[in-house]
Amino acid sequence: MNLVDFIAEHLPDDYSFKITKELSFEFEDNCDNAILKTQQGKQYQKGVIMPVFLTIITKDTNTTVDIWNAWVKEVSDKDYQEGTNNFYMIFQTPSVSQVFDEHSANFYSTISIIGTVVVTENVMDIKKLEIDGDEITVNDWTYKMTNTIDSEQPVDGSDDFINTSEVTASIINMQVTTFNEDYATIRQKLTNMRKNIVSPNSTFHIKVTWSDDSYEEHDMKCTSQAFQKTRGSILLVTLDFAK
C-alpha cells in the first residue's frame, strides 16, 4: 500500500495540501505541508507492525486540526485489504506541538499525529458482517462448524485398532461481540425478543463477506444475547447464533 496516496485519498477535495515522505520533503509556502515518516517496525511471522509519524505544517491551526481530526476518525481502527494483504491502522488524535514556528518569512504551527500500521501478508480476513441487512461493527468474532460423529469400533480380531467415523450432523455457530449501536433492524428485533413481543425462535439472516469479496449466507437462530458494561467503558453486546 502506498501510504502517501492512501492519506491523500481520505482528505477533503477542497483541502489545499502537499504530502511527501520525509526524505523527499520540499517546503511549499502556498498550502499545508504534510510529512510522512515511517519506521521499519517489528517483524513477525506473517507481517510487520510499523510506526507511522505525520507532521503537518500549517498557517491555519484550528481549521487544519479539524480536518485531520476528521481524517483520523475516518481511517483509524479499521482494516483495509489490498490483494491478500491486510492493513490495520490506528492513529492518535492530532496534537499541536509547535505554535508560531518560523518557516521562510512566515509563522506556522506544527501538528503531529502518531499512528501504527499492522501489515499482515497473504491472509484472508472478514471484510463485512451483516445481520438482517445491518452491517455490524465487529469487536470479537468466532465462526465455526461443528460435526456430530458416529464412531464404530474395529471388528474383534482384526488388525485395525482405529475407529471408523462418519459425520451424522453438522451445526454452524457464530458469536459476535459488538457495540450496542442503533442498528436499524437487529437491535429492535432483539429487544422485542426479550420483551416477548416476537418469538425467540425468530430467524436472522447472516451474511459474511470475506476480503476477496466471496461471501456465504445462512439463516440462523439467536441462542444467546448478553450485555456487558464496566465503569468507564463502552457497553458491549455479545450475540450467539446457531444454524
pLDDT tens-digit series, residues 146-165: 998 888 877 776 667 778 88
For residue 187, give the 3-state DSSP assignment: helix
> What per-residue confidence (pLDDT) applies to 43?
73
- Distance (Å, rounded) from C-alpha 100 to C-alpha 60? 11
- Which contacts qualify for 200-203: CB closer than 8 Å, 24 or more apart? none
194, containing H or E segment: helix 186-194
- Residue 121: band (very low, low, confident or very high) from pLDDT cuts 50, 70, 90: confident
The count of residues in the chain is 243
Query: What contacts 119, CB < 8 A, 6 or more positions away?
Result: 1, 47, 48, 50, 85, 86, 87
Amino acid at 239: L
Report pLDDT digits (tens) over 85-119: 788 899 999 998 766 665 555 678 899 999 999 88
pLDDT at 206: 95
- Classified as helix, coil or strand, 48 is strand
β-strand 32-38 against 17-21: which pairing, if any? Answer: parallel
Grid coordinates of 166:
462418519
Q: How far apart are CA 77 and CA 211, in angstroms?
A: 17
Q: What are phi and psi of 216, to 5 degrees?
A: -140, 150
Res. 23: pLDDT tops 60: yes
- Say yes or no: domain 3-120 is CATH 3.90.79: no
* In CATH, 126-242 is 3.40.30: no
Sign of CA dihedral 57, 61, 63, 65: positive
Query: Is 186 strand, coil or helix?
Result: helix
Task: Give the per-residue pLDDT at 71.
Answer: 94
Q: Which three cell numbers stand for residue 151?
A: 464412531
Q: Do 67 and 105 meet the contact criterion of CB atoms below 8 Å apart? A: no
**Best CA proximity match to 129, nearest among 192, 45, 220, 54:** 220
Reported as a pLDDT band with limits 50, 70 and 90, residue 224 is very high
76-99 CB burial, b ≥16 within 10 A, e <16: beeeebeeebbbbbebeebeeeee
Confidence bin at 212 (pLDDT 50/70/90): confident
| Domains of the chain, residue spans | 3-120, 126-242
Q: How far apart are CA 99 and CA 106, in angstroms?
A: 12
Residue 158's identity, in one-letter code, is: S
Residue 18 reports pLDDT greater than 70: yes
pLDDT of residue 105: 55
Residue 216: is its pLDDT beyond 60? yes
Q: What integer pLDDT is reported at residue 103 of this predicted model?
A: 57
Q: What is the pLDDT of residues 48-75, one digit of tens each?
A: 888 999 999 988 888 999 999 999 999 9
Q: Indicate if the pLDDT at residue 40 is higher than 70.
A: yes
Residue 132 carries which DSSP code? T
What pLDDT score does 2 carry?
85
Alpha helices in 19-128 (DSSP H): 61-75
Q: pLDDT by residue (tens digit) across 177-207? A: 998 877 878 888 999 999 999 999 999 999 9
